[in-house]
């Protein structure tokens, strides 16, 4: 299944937030969206997930989601959004049982996703016993458990320290390499974008419009932080963003 | 002032003669029925107010209007509506526990982390699952601490209700002792009320410990 945005524009009251965006999210790829603060990245993600509708333009699904997909469009949030009163396992089983997955089958799914996210030993732990990185891994495991057609990730690593972020990026690359998934990954961190994105969509400052789309052909598993090509791409992205970010910053002060 | 030892002896006599139970049993029953009704309806209404803006618009002013009314003043009204028997006592206690429970529940629901609710919706969970598995457990700390207040109010109203037309009950017992200026029995009755308060508060504490173990 692919997602497609056509001529999407949006305003909140008098504020124009997004202007005329055309974008398609190809199956099995990770599309990163970068852009200055307040340019409408999270809003775009809400449109993609169907939580909100744009003022004009269309958001469509091309093709059917896989038949075994329990929740085709699934979010991973920056703040993890784990229920603190449920164990790791309980956080995942809540969703599976609500979608009517039989208990035995749910157990198997949970075992599988916890193994994939290296959490098997923490099945019975409560969120408060886990570090930030582990919590986000639980949230990723929960998202994988519903076998989404498209994962919608809004700055999933932004709440983590830089070492943990590195580790989780490696984990995401591993996960994708073993079983490619489709994802839209919003971030303000360009290093994350060049590490994880097959495509990087650069948005302008508010109202967000597409400034440029950068493709990176190097396979995810072969990307390293020392790679000069990636370094160059990151520089290029920064050059695109810099002026916009500065201008956006000034606007916020003016408001 | 009666001496504490005399009060204790009076309590002892009460217990041995069986009069303690004769008075305590109907009181506990009234407390149980009245506060269960009041708390249940209060939690339901509080959750509605916390979740739906239309409920908030209509019910918050209503609750604000009835909260400051001394419920004791309404007892004659309840007697007219529900008769002099148990029903009017249940109604008074239920009504008295209802308002503080609504207010604390509404506040507790309001404080539930919105990102958890958003998560539930984004995973396509049923509405009932979001309410019963996310909102209610998240609001439980606030609901339980509100329940402490509501139950103390319930005891106060219990006594008030029993002072008007009850044959047995701690309130009736205290009223009788008071009218005879029998201070020992009066204090014995008051002591029972205090112990009841401590008991209920301990019970809520035990529930908190069991239900809110995830917090610390
Ligand atoms: N529900 C809303 N009502 C009104 N304005 C909103 C609403 N949601 C977002 N906005 C405004 O729309 C603009 C875009 O918001 P959005 O959260 O999509 O930006 P963002 O790119 O995700 O920003 P950040 O990098 O800070 O996360 C902002 O100016 C924001 O204030
Ligand atoms: Mg955002």
pLDDT at B138 over 70: yes
Q: What is the pLDDT of residues A41-71, one digit of tens each?
A: 999 999 999 989 999 999 999 988 888 899 9
| A200: containing domain | 2-63+149-254
Per-residue model confidence (pLDDT) at position A245: 79
Residue A226 has what pLDDT? Answer: 82
Q: What's the confidence (pLDDT) of residue B103? A: 94
Number of compact structural domains in chain A: 1
A128 has a chain B CB within 8 A of its CB: yes
Question: What does the pLDDT average to over A7-14?
Answer: 93
Which atom of ligand 1 is nearest the CA belonging to A44? 18
Average pLDDT of chain B? 91
Residue A252 is predicted with a pLDDT of 65
User: What percentage of chain B reaches a pLDDT higher than 90?
Assistant: 58
Question: pLDDT at residue B1 above 90?
Answer: no
* Alpha-carbon gap: B194 to the closest alpha carbon of chain A (Å): 34
**In the predicted model, what is the mean pLDDT of residues B149-176?**
89
How far, in Å, is the centroid of ligand 1 from the Cα of A160? 22
Specify the 3-state DSSP secondary structure of A92. helix
Kindly report, residue by residue over B11-40, the tens digit of the pLDDT: 888 888 888 889 899 999 999 999 999 999
Atom of ligand 1 nearest to the CA of A13: 4
Task: Judge if the beta carbon of residue A142 lies within 6 A of ligand 1.
Answer: no
Q: What pLDDT shows up at residue A198? A: 96
Q: The tokens 């994802």 sit on which residue?
A: A183
In a domain, A25, yes or no: yes
Which residue's alpha carbon is nearest to atom 9 within ligand 1? A43
Q: Is A17 in the pocket of ligand 1 (CB under 6 A)?
A: yes
Residue A42 is assigned to a structural domain of this protein: yes
Tokens of B168: 């047995």
Position B94 scores a pLDDT of 95
Distance from CA of A46 to the nearest CA of B (A): 10
Q: Is B128 helix (H, G, I), strand (E, B) or coil?
A: helix
User: Cα dist. B142→B24, B50, B64, B177 in Å?
Assistant: 30, 13, 19, 39
Q: Where are the beta strands (DSSP E) in chain A?
A: 2-12, 15-25, 30-34, 56-62, 73-76, 150-154, 183-186, 199-203, 210-215
**Residue A154's closest CA among A174, A166, A139?**
A139
Instruction: Assess if residue A197 is contained within a domain.
Output: yes
pLDDT mean over A127-153: 95
Over residues A125-151, mean pLDDT: 95
A202-223 pLDDT, tens digit per residue, is 999 888 999 999 999 999 999 9
Is A253 a residue whose pLDDT tops 70? no
Question: Whose alpha carbon is nearest atom 31 of ligand 1?
Answer: A38
Lowest mean pLDDT among A54-58, A244-248, B112-116: A244-248
Query: Chain B within 8 Å of A238 (Cβ-Cβ)?
Result: no
Ligand 1: atom nearest CA of A41 is 21
C-alpha A202 to ligand 1 mean position (Å): 16
Rg of chain A on CA atoms, in Å? 18
Instruction: Determine the pLDDT at residue B108.
Output: 95
Q: What is the CATH number for A41? A: 3.40.50.300
How many other CB atoms sit within 10 Å of the CB of residue A215? Answer: 10
Domain membership flag for residue A35: yes
Cβ contacts of A237 within 8 Å, gap of 6 or more: A34, A190, A193, A194, A200, A202, A214
Residue A223 lies in a domain: yes
pLDDT at A101: 95
Residue A103 lies in a domain: no
- The SS3 call for residue A208 is strand
pTM to 2 decimals?
A: 0.87
pLDDT above 60 (res A255):
no
Residue B131 clears pLDDT 60, i.e. is over it: yes
- The predicted model gives A172-176 an average pLDDT of 94
Report if residue A244 sits inside a domain.
yes
Answer whether residue A237 shows pLDDT above 90.
yes
Instruction: Give the pLDDT confidence score for residue B20 in this predicted structure.
Output: 86
End-to-end CA separation in angstroms for chain B: 45
Do the beta carbons of residue B172 and residue B166 sit within 8 Å?
A: yes
Q: How many CA atoms lie within 13 A of B150 on its CB side?
A: 34
How far is the C-alpha of B214 from the C-alpha of B216, rounded, in Å?
6
Give the nearest ligand 1 atom to A40 CA.
18
Task: Return the residue in A49, A73, A89, A94 with the most chain B beta carbons within 10 A, the one to mutate for interface testing.
Answer: A94
Q: Which residues of A touch B113 (CB under 8 A)?
A: 81
**Helix H segments across B83-135?**
86-110, 114-122, 127-129
Ligand 1 near A37 CB (within 6 A): yes
Measure CB to CB from residue A81 to each of B115, B125, B133 and give the nearest one: B115
Partner A contacted by B209 (CB < 8 A): no
Tens digit of each residue's pLDDT (9 = 90 or more) over B164-206: 778 899 999 998 888 899 888 889 999 999 999 999 999 999 9
Distance CA A162, CA B148 (A): 45
* Cβ <8 Å between B115 and A77: yes
Evaluate whether B111 touches B183 at the Cβ level (below 8 Å).
no
Q: For residue A19, is it within any domain? A: yes
Most confident option among A33-42, A94-103, B162-171: A94-103
Q: Indicate the residue of B134, B212, B215 with minimum beta-carbon distance to A83.
A: B134
Distance (Å, rounded) from C-alpha B97 to C-alpha B193?
A: 17
Which among A79, A95, A128 has the least Cβ separation from residue B125? Answer: A95
Identity of the residue in A51, A85, A98 whose CB atom sits nearest the CB atom of B137: A85
């Amino acid at each position: 299944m692919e997602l497609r945005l056509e001529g999407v524009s949006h305003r909140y009251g008098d504020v124009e937030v997004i202007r005329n965006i055309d974008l398609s999210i190809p199956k099995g790829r990770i599309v990163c969206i970068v852009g200055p603060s307040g340019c409408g990245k999270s809003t775009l993600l809400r449109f993609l997930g169907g939580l909100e509708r744009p003022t004009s333009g269309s958001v469509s699904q091309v093709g059917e989601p896989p038949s075994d997909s329990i929740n085709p469009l699934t979010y991973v949030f920056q703040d993890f959004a784990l229920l603190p009163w449920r164990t790791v396992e309980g956080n995942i089983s809540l969703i599976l049982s609500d979608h009517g997955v039989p208990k035995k089958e749910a157990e198997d799914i949970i075992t599988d996703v916890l193994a994939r996210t290296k959490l098997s030993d923490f099945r019975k732990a409560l969120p408060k016993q886990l570090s930030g990185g582990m919590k986000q891994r639980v949230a990723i495991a929960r998202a994988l458990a519903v076998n989404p057609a498209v994962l919608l990730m809004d700055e999933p690593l932004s709440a983590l320290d830089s070492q943990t972020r590195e580790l989780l990026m490696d984990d995401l690359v591993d996960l994708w390499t073993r079983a490619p998934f489709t994802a839209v990954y919003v971030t303000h961190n360009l290093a994350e974008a060049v590490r994880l994105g097959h495509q990087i969509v650069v948005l302008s400052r508010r109202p967000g419009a597409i400034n440029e789309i950068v493709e990176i052909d190097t396979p995810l598993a072969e990307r390293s932080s020392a790679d000069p090509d990636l370094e160059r791409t990151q520089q290029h992205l920064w050059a695109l963003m810099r002026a916009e970010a500065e201008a956006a910053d000034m606007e916020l002060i003016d408001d | 002032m009666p001496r504490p030892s005399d009060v204790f002896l009076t309590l002892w006599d009460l217990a041995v003669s069986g009069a303690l139970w004769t008075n305590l049993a109907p009181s506990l029953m009234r407390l149980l029925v009245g506060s269960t009704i009041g708390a249940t309806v209060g939690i339901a209404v509080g959750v509605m107010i916390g979740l739906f803006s239309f409920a908030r618009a209509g019910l918050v002013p209503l609750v604000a209007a009835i909260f400051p009314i001394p419920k004791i003043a309404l007892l004659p009204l309840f007697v007219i509506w529900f008769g002099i028997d148990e029903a009017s006592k249940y109604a008074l206690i239920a009504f008295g526990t209802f308002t503080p429970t609504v207010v604390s529940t509404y506040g507790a629901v309001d404080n539930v982390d919105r990102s958890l609710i958003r998560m539930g919706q984004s995973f396509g969970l049923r509405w009932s699952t979001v309410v019963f598995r996310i909102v209610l457990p998240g609001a439980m700390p606030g609901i339980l601490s509100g329940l402490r207040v509501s139950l103390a109010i319930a005891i106060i109203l219990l006594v008030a209700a029993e002072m008007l037309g009850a044959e047995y009950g701690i309130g009736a017992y205290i009223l009788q002792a008071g009218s005879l200026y029998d201070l020992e029995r009066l204090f014995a009755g008051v002591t029972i009320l205090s112990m009841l308060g401590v008991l209920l508060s301990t019970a809520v504490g035990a529930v908190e410990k069991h239900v809110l173990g995830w917090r610390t």
